[in-house]
Amino acid sequence: MPLQVVYVTENKNSKKGASFSFGSGTLQGHLLAGEERFSIALDENDLVWYEILSFSKPAHLLSLFGYPYVLLRQKYFAHQSGSAVKKHLSA
């Protein structure tokens, strides 16, 4: 599926923590129109913050019918992704 990374940000400040994020957007030909952002940050108290932001809408007739399933899969991915980060941090 055609996607493009739209931006990447990285902030390394030892006193206030550090953060990294990237965002991607769909291109012409993708079944959905939308964007996603993945962010992870380490704050000044050594706490890890992880965020996924996603918005989309159907961009093709086929995706219109399957959109409820797509939304379920997006929620499942977000849950699994957060669980993977927690597992990695506790290892």
CB atoms under 10 Å from CB of 53, counted, come to 12
pTM (2 d.p.): 0.82
pLDDT for residue 89? 87
Q: What does the pLDDT average to over 75-84?
A: 94
- What whole-number distance in Å separates Cα of residue 36 and Cα of residue 5? 9
pLDDT for residue 16? 82
- What whole-number distance in Å separates Cα of residue 64 and Cα of residue 90? 40
4-60 pLDDT, tens digit per residue, is 999 999 998 767 889 999 999 999 999 999 999 999 999 989 899 999 999 999 998
